[in-house]
Amino acid sequence: MLNRNARHWPHSDRPRDQVVEAERLVKARPRSKTGLDRTSFAAGAGEFTNAAMPAPRAMTGSDVPRFGLALVVIATAQLMVMLDATVVNVALPNIQRAVGFSGSGLEWVVNAYTLAFGGLMLLGGRAGDLLGRRRVFTTGLLLFSAASLAGGFATSQAWLLAARAMQGVGGALTAPTALALVTTTFAEGEPRNRAMGVYAAMSVAGGAIGLLAGGLLTTYASWRWVLFVNVPVGLAAALIAPRVLRESARTRGRFDLPGAITGTSGVAALVYGLSQAATRPDGTSHWGDTQVVVSLVASVILLIVFAVVETRSERPLLPLHLLRDRNRTGANLILLCVGTIFTVTFFFLTVFMQVVWGYSALKAGLCYLPLTAAIMASSGAAARLVARAGARPPLLTGAAAVAGGLYWLSGISEHSGYATAVLGPTLVIGAGLGLLFVPLTLVAMSRIRNEDSGVAASLRNTGQQVGGSIGLAVLGTVAWTVVANSIHAQTAHTAAAATRAGRPAPPSQATLTAIYDHALATGFSRAYLVTAAIMLLALIITIAAIRVTRSDLGRARPSLPGQRHSTAVLPGQPADDRPATATSPAATTKE
């Protein structure tokens, strides 16, 4: 708002008479039929211009169905992308028999998707900033759907792997732009908090729902339907999106090609190296393998080159000022920790229930329903709590709850049951994850310039994705090393006991099964203890880095039509990282 008592134009050295003249021109300008004038003043120049775009509207009662449908489209797309990371896992034995994969080649059905998805995430987010987020979002959905259709008809290994890689590319375009569209569609404050609650619930519950859906589809249909199921969902979302989502204004500039090449290659090499490094169930370590060492060293070199390129680029793929904000960096580090424990928890628990307890894929998937319900409920509660208490209370409570739940889960054994050893811990973990994801997403996307919202969203998703790769590599090494050592120790003890009893003989099949079940329980228990320690680290990061207050996230700041928000800089946030556009739900413009 203009200040008549001000001596100078805000952020400028122009004298007061130009301010008065500008106000006179505003009052003299004819009003539109709506009674609103769309005017803007070039920041720091004092120039009056007429903008061609219509005045932004506030959300009204008539907007509710449209904004509700927009949220359904965004949430459905995010659920589909996250679900696909786990839905295929359940179908892997069927895929191996149908397509003829070897044991070592079968893992590439998962790795092909993970590499493309994680490696291209930053590029996908920046593409949305430059080309229009709705356009890139819709393109990603169509590509994901087409790749799913092609993969469902696959009759050879190369065909299926190519389809899975293209699914990853579609996911890398869809996921970051979906989050960016939440920030540009819903006004800051309660509307955005509620939308973020739904988005976060889909992000974290997608893995559990994928396991259940995979069990249902493989049991009652075919492994091909874990891919076919994406086609109608993706096509419907892509067709509805242009009708309910406004296109964002394009950011001027070109792709940072050197940054795109080095950044994408560096992240892909890191994900690949970690995926190949983990110790296998037989206890064989692969950290010293040539391909692993070369991949990890290459990733370090490429990421260092990427950082140098970004500091010198006029329009970088990853603006470094995003990393100078203590709150945002802290939130992304916590997401890295959460991603680390999230993937591992599902993986180990699914293996344990199926191998040790003999659960079918469907029964194991059904066991995740309480966890999914807890995530949904606590995500909704977190969206309301942020508006009342700020981000720190739910973050502190959520991190402590997840750490406690993982410690409780570490007591699992081959003699325990679902009701006594899994139900309680997973309910606590689910409630904690829901409390974490909503405020973490809000903090990671807080006070982002409009032209940077896509890349900020991709940074948030990349942290979660890379965290999953780190978890499977590091914690997989911990678990399977303990499993192998336990098997060797138990076998030696059994043989020694038989010798002392004067009955030296190979152990029976029942004895070998009991040894293996106990070894799995011991190894997975040790891994869950490490995950609990990782969440304690996330709790420490929350205490040290997150300084966002209730007013920063929980309340929308009023604005006049055509006027930008006057915002304060958050604690730990550089002054050049203020938002460039109003946070009105209609602040984006249609082409």
Q: Concatenated DSSP letters for 7-74?
A: SS-TTS---HHHHHHHHHHHHHSPP-TTS---EEE-TTT--EEE-SSPPP----GGGHHHHHHHHHHH
Percent of residues in the chain assigned helix, strand, coil, to nearest 5:
70, 0, 30
Q: pLDDT tier at 103 (50, 70, 90 boundaries)? A: low
Task: Write down the H helix ranges in 357-452.
Answer: 361-366, 369-389, 392-409, 418-421, 423-444
| Domain limits, CATH 1.20.1250.20, in the chain | 64-255, 318-496+507-555+570-578
* Per-residue model confidence (pLDDT) at position 537: 96
Range with the lowest mean pLDDT among 35-49, 176-190, 289-303? 35-49
pLDDT band at 205 (very low <50, low <70, confident <90, very high): confident
What's the token pair of residue 282? 């037989």
User: Which residue did the predictor score with more confidence, 392 or 66?
Assistant: 392
What's the CA gap between 113 and 144, in Å, rounded? 11
pTM of the model: 0.76
- Cβ neighbors of 100 (< 8 A, separation 6 or more) are 157
Lowest-pLDDT choice from 102-111, 467-476, 574-583:
574-583
Q: Helical H runs in 221-325?
A: 225-228, 230-244, 257-277, 290-312
Cβ contacts of 588-591, under 8 Å, gap ≥ 24? 588/184, 588/185, 588/246, 588/247, 588/248, 588/249, 589/53, 589/54, 589/246, 589/247, 589/248, 589/249, 590/246, 590/247, 591/132, 591/247
Is 272 or 107 the better-scoring residue by pLDDT? 272
User: Which helix (H) or strand (E) element contains residue 283?
Assistant: none
For 318-496+507-555+570-578, the fitting CATH number among 1.20.1250.20, 3.90.1150.10, 3.30.70.260, 1.10.3720.10 is 1.20.1250.20
Buried b (16+ CB within 10 A) or exposed e, 57-66: eebeeeeeee
Residue 549 has pLDDT above 90, yes or no: no
DSSP 79-97: HHHHHHHHHHHHHHHHHHH
In this prediction, residues 41-58 reach a mean pLDDT of 36
pLDDT band at 200 (very low <50, low <70, confident <90, very high): confident
Res 121: pLDDT: 87
Choice between 429 and 579, residue whose per-residue pLDDT is larger: 429
- How high is the pLDDT of residue 413? 93
| Mean pLDDT of all residues in 131-149 | 95
Work out the pLDDT band at 472, boundaries 50, 70, 90.
confident
Q: How far is residue 80 from each of residues 50, 189, 190, 214, 377, measured CA to CA in Å?
A: 42, 27, 26, 13, 20
Nearest residue to 86 via CA among 364, 300, 292: 364
Distance CA 15, CA 247 (A): 38
Q: Span 64-255: which CATH code?
A: 1.20.1250.20
Residues 229-240 pLDDT 10s: 999 999 999 999
Which residues, 6 or more positions from 409, have their beta carbon under 8 angstroms from its beta carbon? 345, 349, 421, 422, 425, 426, 429, 528
C-alpha 304: how far from its chain's center? 24
Any bridge partners for residue 48, and if so which?
41
Please state, for a pLDDT cut of 70, what percent of the chain lies above it. Answer: 81
